Amino acid sequence: MNGLSEIVAGDEGLRAWIAPTRTAVLVIDMQVDFASPDGLLGQYGVDMSVVQPALAAAERLVSSARSAGVPVVFVGLFTTPETDSPAWNERMRRRGGDPETDAALCRLGEAGSEFVGPRPEAGEVVVRKTRYSGFVGTDLHDRLTALGVDTLVMAGVTTECCVDSTARDAFNLDYHVFIAADACAAYEADIHAASLKVMELNSAILTDTVQIADAWKGAA
C-alpha cells in the first residue's frame, strides 16, 4: 500500500470511513470450485494453497464484522445451462474448449458452488450472480440500499477478476470501496499484486483485516 491508503490506515480516517453504521462486508466467490482442492479448478491442477491464507483472513474479517454489527453479504457464482453466457461459451471454444462437454464452474445445487472459508449465517444476505461483477443481473445494489450502507469492504477471489469487477461497478455506483488485501487472492502472486495496484489507482482504498478489526474494535 502507498499514498492515500497509508494515510487513511494510519489515522482516525479509517475508523470513521468504515464505521459500522455505514458499511457492509462483501465476500466474493469464496466457493469450492474457486478455492478448494476438491473443486473444479483444483481438480484441473490449480494450486489452491495460495488461496488458503485469504480464506483464513476472510474468516477473521467476517468474525470482526459480525462482532461490530456490520452486515455481511455473500456474493457467489451460481450457474445453470440457461444462464451460461454465449460470449463465455464462444470464448471457451476459441481457446480450444467445448462448452457442451467441459464441466462448468459453480453449478447451482452442486458441491462446487458451496461457500468455503467464511459461510453465511441465518439471516445474512446471499446474492447469486452469473457474471464477474456482483452487480450485473442481480439485486445487490437494492439489497445494499435497503441496508442503508454507502461503504463496502471487499474480500474474495480472484483479485483480478470478480473482486476487481465488483469493485469497479461499486465505485461507479458511488460506493466508497475498501479492499481487505490479505483477504483476497489470485492464483499467481504477481497478478494479485498488480490487480491491487490497479484498484488502488482507480476505484478503491487498500487496507487489511488487522486494520479493519482495529477500526471496529469496541463498536458493538
Tell me which residues are annotated as active site.
29, 129, 162
Question: DSSP assignment, residue 14?
Answer: H
Hey, which residues does 158 pair with through a beta bridge? none
Looking at the chain, list the stretches that DSSP marks H as alpha helix, in order from N- to C-terminal side: 4-9, 13-17, 32-35, 40-43, 52-68, 86-94, 140-147, 164-172, 189-202, 209-216
Residue owning grid cell 483485516 = 209
What b-and-e string marks burial along 5-31, b requiring 16 or more CB atoms within 10 Å of the CB? beebbeeeebbebbebebbbbbbbbbb
Report the C-alpha gap between 42 and 49 in whole angstroms. 10
Helix axes 189-202, 164-172, angle to 10 degrees: 0
Radius of gyration (C-alpha) of the chain in whole angstroms = 17
Residue owning grid cell 461499486 = 170
